Amino acid sequence: MIKFDDEIAEVLDNYTKSSQELLEASSLCANDTAKQDMVSFLTEDFEAMRARSEGISLMVQKSYVGNKDFIVQEIKEVTKQNYDIAKRIREKLGPLMA
């Protein structure tokens, strides 16, 4: 059983909040292909973030204890990416929502 300390709990809480923010920003596109096209420039960034997240998941499954510091740092970086992508979606689509 892995024991989580306060730092990890905070990092995971921030990651969860950033993922929720990204989900909410992405929902501004709904099924509107014009809006999806407007933010398609973010596809590469999104795919990079998703790949990093999958890598973190694999490391946690395979060797959490041996890679804890690296995993925590990667989660922090993905959290920043989530917020950044969400911000850019909102900046691009925000004027349409007013």
Q: Is residue 95 part of a domain?
A: yes
Task: Count up the domains in the chain and report the number.
Answer: 1
Residues listed for the chain: 98
Q: What is the largest CA-CA distance in the chain?
A: 49
25 CB-near residues (< 8 Å, 6+ apart):
85, 86, 87, 89, 90
Kind plus residue range of the DSSP H or E element containing 72? helix 43-97
Q: Is residue 36 part of a domain?
A: no
What is the C-alpha separation between 53 and 92, in angstroms, rounded? 25
Backbone angles phi, psi at 64, to 5 degrees: -65, -50
Sequential pLDDT tens for the chain (98 residues) = 455 678 888 999 999 999 999 999 999 998 899 999 999 999 999 999 999 999 999 998 998 888 889 999 999 999 999 999 999 999 999 887 76
Enter the pTM of the model: 0.86
Residue 79: domain span: 41-98
